[in-house]
Amino acid sequence: MSKNINVALIGNPNTGKSSVFNHLTGLNQKTGNYPGITVEKKQGVCRLPRGVKARILDLPGTYSLNASSLDENVVVELLLNKNDKDFPDVAVVVSDVENLKRNLLLFTQIKDLNIPTILVINMSDRMRRKGISIDVQKMEEFLHAKVVLVSARKNEGIDVLKQHITAYKSISTQPCVSIAQIDQAYFSSLESTFPNQSLYKLWLVITQDVNFARVERKKMAAQDANHMRSPSFLKRLQQKETIKRYQFINSVLKECYKKDSAKATDLRSKLDRVLTHKVWGFVVFFVVLLTIFQALYDWSSVPMDFIDASFAQLSDWAKVNLPSWLAPNLIAEGVIPGLGGIVIFVPQIAMLFLFIAILEETGYMSRVVFITDRVMRRFGLSGKSVVPLISGTACAIPAIMATRNIENWKERLITILVTPFTTCSARLPVYLILISLIIPNERILGANMQGLVLMLFYLLGFAMALLAAFVLHKTMPTNQTSYFVVEMPNYRIPLLKNIIITIVEKTKSFVLEAGKIILAISILLWVLASNGPGEAFKNASEIVAAQEHVTDANFNQKLSAYKLEHSYLGRVGKGIEPLIQPLGYDWKIGIAIVSSFAAREVFVGTLATIYNVGDSEEETIKNRMAAETYADGTPVFTLASGLSLMVFYAFAMQCMSTLAIVRKETNSWRWPAVQLVVMTGVAYLGALVTFQYFSL
């Protein structure tokens, strides 16, 4: 027996497949993308009896091998290609004890591929309460497979499953259904044309848009065009296949599966009447979101402040204590802040995925997807896009990561591209200080005018996200048909182990993958801001010391402002000034815009340095900004320029970490580049129109 085997974990969504995977692998797992595509690849290692080591591959959830989405194609292509390094020695199909009839459709299809297959009936702990009884031995005889009752919640049946995986060679590969019975003439002809191929594999190659080793669609067409029939003919045969399989499944369940409906509770139906109601469902969802984001802000503020302060102290320590040969300024002002810019997101990411995991584990997330799908589809999205869009108000990074549960690639890509339009918490410092400068602190009908403007910009961001989604939906080509299929799982108490593993894996993925890019760009920005061309930058100390009104107290502030102006980053500000002048900005604002590419909230800190206020309070910054004028005495920050600047920040892609995570999620630099160019263009045009209109 081989000491290393491949195990494919397959199942419908919401059958507890991830729970079984976590029990088999624990934390001995890693995530990545399948080669050339963006579907997440999750795999782990499991130690089995007799010294056997199993490599467990958790395949994307699928309802059948009639693939209708990118992730379902992954399952079909793997099961058809024996040359793939991930091709399974044994398949483990996970089913739900209460939805066994539907789950067995996928099982019978996989069984017909002549792969040793084990049927796991999960959530067996619910059988007594639901009045369910299963004759396992008789079911094994009907299915020609091993059947294991498992309770992932109580960790029951996992050891038995491991034993069956170890002895996979003894499992029968006899098919459950004879595919030839669907249309004797067609399949007999197909079998005679390709005598050395599995008949059901040939059928899948013909009907699915997949690649299969040694049997390609073009070759098949060249050898026998009779088998490459019209789509309508093939569709009818697929329907007949499904009917044939369910006839077999019904006969099996009639003999092996009993359910006393009188023992089943109606709690689920009562909850669903409220949570999926066309009105009350949205009310409950709104309350849930308010609770989540209130907790996000309250709970994450303490660890984020601690991380921020710790990295600031570490930076100060590095400046003083590191030897010169270690380039202390680079480490203190480039590397450490870059690392801090990565780690500071961890609390929000961890907490957001904590709540998402809880909502998914309890079964509530499927209800949210159901009630919002009809609204979102008008804009080219699906119900599953709602959570990323709304969670983007906290931070776009975990919001974009949360799009992974969207099966349709086009809908997922559109959601990724438009999510940064929603107003994240990093924009707040920009909005708050600009609103305090240009909007009177007055009330209209009892409402604070400044608060109303702030709310308006939140609504503006969300409206632009929907508009952009609508445009992308109409312009992006696709050959993929979108079907809305959502599982309504039973309500259940979340498993702590699953939640912990989800948080650890998602957070680790962000830190290790996106963090590399964020750190590199942080260092680049530091280099540009800390160096400059010519004698003006080289002799900055002497030049500043010779200026009027320079004292010992303000020398360092004057020097920092002068060096920034004459640095490479300052040169960029001067260089783009002609471009941003129509928006109402000067070169100093240009520097703040460029430097805030690291993070939007950097805008205020950059202006604080430029305006020579050092570590003064925000009020001082506001007063200094209010007093800033052009050479002719005209104020820099007016209603027109202030609104223009807020519109720019509302629409612009001004966050390198978001671009990094888009790069990771799309597995390409193409989409973040398109995102950067388009959003910047929209921001520029929006700011231009705003400034010109309010300047009239």
Residue 511 has pLDDT above 90, yes or no: no
Helix (H) / strand (E) containing 32: strand 29-33
Q: What is the pLDDT of residue 614?
A: 40
pLDDT in tens, 121-173: 988 877 877 788 899 999 999 999 999 999 877 888 999 999 999 999 999 99
Residue 539 has pLDDT above 90, yes or no: no
pLDDT in tens, 483-495: 555 666 677 778 7
Q: Quick one: what percent of the chain has pLDDT higher than 90?
A: 20
Which of 597, 606, 601 lies closest to 567 in space, CA to CA?
A: 606
Q: What is the pLDDT of residue 621?
A: 62
pLDDT higher for 305 or 257? 257
Backbone Cα Rg of the chain: 30
pLDDT in tens, 91-107: 999 998 888 898 999 99
Residue 475 has pLDDT above 80, yes or no: yes
Name beta bridge partners: 30.
43
Helix (H) / strand (E) containing 9: strand 4-11
Do β-strands 117-122 and 90-96 pair in parallel, antiparallel, or remain unpaired? parallel
Q: What is the pLDDT of residue 172?
A: 92
Q: What is the pTM (predicted TM-score) of this model? A: 0.61
- Domain limits, the chain: 4-170, 179-263, 280-448+474-499, 514-694
Residue 656 has pLDDT above 70, yes or no: yes
Name beta bridge partners: 147.
119
Q: What is the pLDDT of residue 322?
A: 80
Assigned superfamily of 4-170: P-loop containing nucleotide triphosphate hydrolases (3.40.50.300)
Residue 345 has pLDDT above 70, yes or no: no
Least confident among 54-68, 232-246, 544-558: 544-558
Q: For the residues 244-269, what does the mean pLDDT come to?
A: 80
Distance between CA 192 and CA 207 in Å, rounded? 19
pLDDT in tens, 582-614: 999 988 888 888 877 766 666 766 666 556 444
Q: Mean pLDDT across the chain, nearest whole number?
A: 79
Residue 247 has pLDDT above 50, yes or no: yes
Residue 275 has pLDDT above 60, yes or no: yes
Distance between CA 679 and CA 676 in Å, rounded? 5
Q: For the residues 245-270, what does the mean pLDDT come to?
A: 79
Residue 193 has pLDDT above 70, yes or no: yes
Supply 518's token pair: 């964020």
